[in-house]
Amino acid sequence: MSSDSGRLSAIDLFCGAGGLSYGLQTAGIPVVAGIDIDPDCRYPFEFNIDAAFLQEDVANISAEQLTPLWLKGSVRVLAGCAPCSPFSPYRRGADTSREKQWPLLAEFGRIVEETMPEIVTMENVPRIGSSPVFKAFVKTLEGAGYHVNWRSCHGPDYGLAQGRRRLVLLASRLGPIEVPEAAAGVSKVATVRARIGKLPPIQAGGQDPRDPLHTARALSDINLRRIRASTPGGTWKEWPKRLRAPCHQRTTGATFRNVYARMEWDKPSPTITTLAHNFGTGRFGHPEQDRPISLREAAMLQGFPRRYRFVKPRERIVFDRLGRLIGNAVPPPLAKAVGAAIVDHVAEHNA
């Protein structure tokens, strides 16, 4: 290693809106570039991360493109969260092996072999841990000389006000490395109230004039009556029968109690999905106000700071587009904990 081998620089594959990059930067790791096929990721990544954005299919990325991007003489970090739709728990039981996202983790492994960065980190849904593609990815890393460690991480252990669980992998050519079991300094579980309790109130279909992202989807008359009949932590079973949907009457729907429901102030939120702005797709009702959570609230429950920008000033707010960017993001607090572990690991092996 050179004398400045303690410096780090990272490239973020499948960078999305920049959640992983933001967390790594907060931990002190400069991010030099992000790569994603989705053009909607360009503005939030470039504005918030202040790094190069390459709109490209990762399957087409080569070592010749990436190698010059890392800072010269630095410890190189290759990070990424391959799209996880085929491995989502919501797809349990379905054959997803022919979907185009299935081989993307193999492309990640190919890029590792071509560039041989000192550190690799990968994040995904826990279910991927038992898949053939993940096992092949680990085998690729080990075969290339990496020390590999991975674990399922629970969001609140890392200061995330969300009961999200994610698989995180760390691999190093410098020596043994471990994914942290929790973030340093997290003494209590973060809550919905702690994260979004001070945002100004808005109505269903309303928007904060000072923050366009703090906008909530409108509710139909029946859903407005349903949310008014809901209590924090309750289920649709507390509603009068006249408000229940036909699916609630069927045996197959009776067990789905965490839809059309309110969050609780003093607990972490449920997992923020790409549809967290819809009252009917999960426990995404505001604890107190008669509306779904806003896009800003969803982003903050994902661990993004309130100032994080997802759209250009005066750009039209499109719920499904922004919900996808927010729900698919790596939570920055988890990424920060991983980044801190990388910084400590490099300092230890280059002391």
Q: Which residues are catalytic?
A: 84
Given a contact cutoff of 8 angstroms between Cβ atoms, the answer to whether 8 and 342 are in contact is yes
Q: Which residue has the tokens 């460690």?
A: 149
The distance from CA 128 to its chain's CA centroid, rounded to whole angstroms, is 15
DSSP characters over 202-263: --TT-EETTEEEEE-----HHHHHHHHT--BT--GGGS-GGG--HHHHSGGGTT--SSS-B-
For the purposes of burial, counting CB atoms within 10 Å of the CB of 232, is it exposed (0-12), middle (13-18) or buried (19 or more)?
Answer: middle
Angle, vertex CA 311, rays to CA 308 and CA 312, nearest 5: 110
Cα within 13 Å of Cα(219), Cβ side: 27
Provide the pairing of β-strand 147-154 with 119-124.
unpaired
Amino acid at residue number 73 = G
DSSP characters over 17-56: TSHHHHHHHHTT--EEEEEES-GGGHHHHHHHH-SEEEE-
